[in-house]
Each structure stands twice: as C-alpha cells, then as structure tokens.
C-alpha cells in the first residue's frame, strides 16, 4: 500500500467508518445518559435560584480563587491546550473545507502562521500536563489507563498534523494519511471514553449548577 493509497482509504472508507461509529456512540450515550434520570428530589429547594445551572457553565470555566496558585500547570496548561486545539481545529482552512464537505457550512480561516503557533502551544501544553500528571503523586494515583489513552489520542492528531504541515521526519503524503487516521481513532474513541466530555461538558455543568443551586450553594 503506497502512502497515497493509505490517504485515499483514510479519506474514503476510513472516514466513513470513523464518523459512523462516532455518531452511533454519541447518540447511544446521550440517550442512555438522559434516560437514566435522577432520583426525584423530595426536599424543598433552599432558595429559588433560577439560572444557577447556566451561571455554573461559565463559572466553572474560570479558576476558583487560590487554585491558580496551587495547580498552575493544570489551569494554564488546560487553557492553552483547549484554546490551541480549538483554534487549530476550527480555523485551519483545510479543516474548514472538511466541514464544508460534510455539512456545507463554512467560515473564514486564519493564516497558517497563527494556526502554527496555536498548534505548537497546544502540543507544549499537552506535554506539560502529562509531565505534571506523571510527576505529581496525587495526579498519578488518580490516573488510569483511560486518562493516558485520551492524552495520546489527542496528542497524535496535533503531532501528525504538525509533522505534515512542516514536512518533518516523514513524507507529506504519509504524514497527512497518518494525521487523518489519528483523527479517525480519536473519533472512534470519543463516545466511549472521558473524551465524551466534548459533548457532555456543558450538560453536566448545568446539572451540577442547578442541583447545587437548589441546595443553596451560590454558583
């Protein structure tokens, strides 16, 4: 199989399979999660706090006082990674072309220099949070196989994309094929691992905020 044939497979059957598994998994899990429900809360709400869930979506995105000092790598690394990853994912023109190809939607992209900086920042942040996870005894104790898997599956698309764009180490065609394949792995694993937070994060935050609101905890 030549690199171009691998790329053709990745752009064709590979992508179809990955997207199908991803869509199947996301729907499956959403149906499952929403249908589970919670036990009816029979107690009276402490105070009426409409919008508590919505406020929590925002407030949980900001570091609580003190934690920035106690866990700077987690916070700064987390922000830098998520921003870098999102900018690279949504504003690199070939990525927008992919979305346009799938959905017909498109928006303006950013110059490759900006994408380059975002990708490097994302990669460095990922390396920093992994180093922190491995060196901090508490984090290491809390980490399981799935955490490292999620890290690897996120790292690979950024790394292979970077190699492809800069023509480093491997031939561009092969790098592009590996890049697309690594994204397909990510798509396949997304619904069934902690990576599902990309879909569920704001739902669970709203839920937590709403429950705590009922219990009288300000959001």
Partner 1 sequence: MAHDAPTIAETLRRQGISRRGFLKFCATTASLMALPPSMVPAIAAALEKARRPSVIWLSFQECTGCTESLTRSHTPSIEGLILEQISLDYHHTLQAASGEAAEAAREAAMRENHGKYLLVVDGSIPLGNAGYSTIAGISNLDMLKETAAGAAAVIAVGSCAAYGGLPAALPNPTGAVPVSAIIKDKPVMNVPGCPPIPVVITGVLAHFLTFAALPELDDRGRPKVFYGESIHDRCYRRPFYDQGKFAETFDDEGARKGWCLFKLGCKGPVTYNACATTKWNQGVSFPIQSGHGCIGCSEPGFWDMGPLYKPLSMPIAPVQMMVGAAAAGGAIAGTAMAMRNRAAKKAAQAAHQKVTVDDLEKAK
Applying CB under 8 A, the residues found at the interface with partner 1 are 2, 4-5, 7-8, 11-13, 15-16, 19-21, 23-32, 35-36, 93-95, 97-98, 100-102, 108-113, 167, 172-173, 176
| Minimum distance, C-beta of residue 12 to partner 1, in the bound complex (Å) | 4
Task: Give 66 or 108: the residue with its C-beta nearer to partner 1.
Answer: 108
| Minimum distance, C-beta of residue 169 to partner 1, in the bound complex (Å) | 15
Give CA–CA dist 185/197, Å, rounded: 16
| Minimum distance, C-beta of residue 62 to partner 1, in the bound complex (Å) | 32
| CA torsion angle 84 87 89 93 (round to 10) | -140
Task: Give 18 or 150: the residue with its C-beta nearer to partner 1.
Answer: 18
Task: Give 32 or 138: the residue with its C-beta nearer to partner 1.
Answer: 32
Task: Give 7 or 159: the residue with its C-beta nearer to partner 1.
Answer: 7
Task: Give 3 or 78: the residue with its C-beta nearer to partner 1.
Answer: 3
| Minimum distance, C-beta of residue 117 to partner 1, in the bound complex (Å) | 13
| Minimum distance, C-beta of residue 55 to partner 1, in the bound complex (Å) | 30
| Minimum distance, C-beta of residue 38 to partner 1, in the bound complex (Å) | 12
Task: Give 70 or 167: the residue with its C-beta nearer to partner 1.
Answer: 167
Give every CB contact of residue 4 below 8 A, 6+ residues apart in sequence: 173, 177
């Amino acid at each position: 199989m030549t690199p171009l044939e691998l790329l053709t497979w990745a752009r064709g059957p590979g992508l179809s399979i990955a997207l199908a598994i991803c869509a199947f998994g996301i729907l499956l899990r959403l149906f499952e999660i929403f249908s589970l429900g919670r036990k009816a809360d029979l107690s009276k709400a402490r105070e009426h706090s409409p919008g508590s869930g919505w406020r929590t979506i925002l407030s949980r995105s900001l570091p609580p006082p003190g934690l920035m000092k106690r866990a700077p790598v987690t916070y700064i690394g987390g922000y830098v990674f998520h921003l870098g990853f999102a900018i690279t994912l949504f504003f690199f023109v070939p990525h927008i072309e992919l979305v346009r190809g799938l959905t017909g939607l498109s928006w303006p992209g950013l110059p490759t220099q900006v994408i380059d900086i975002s990708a490097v920042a994302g990669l460095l942040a990922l390396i920093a949070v992994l180093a922190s996870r491995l060196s901090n005894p508490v984090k290491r104790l809390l980490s399981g196989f799935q955490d490292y898997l999620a890290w690897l599956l996120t790292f690979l698309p950024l790394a292979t994309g970077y190699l492809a764009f800069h023509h480093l180490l491997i031939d561009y065609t092969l790098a592009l094929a590996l890049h697309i394949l690594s994204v397909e792995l990510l798509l396949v694993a997304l619904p069934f691992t902690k990576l599902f937070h990309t879909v569920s994060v704001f739902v669970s935050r709203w839920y937590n905020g709403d429950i705590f609101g009922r219990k009288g905890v300000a959001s």
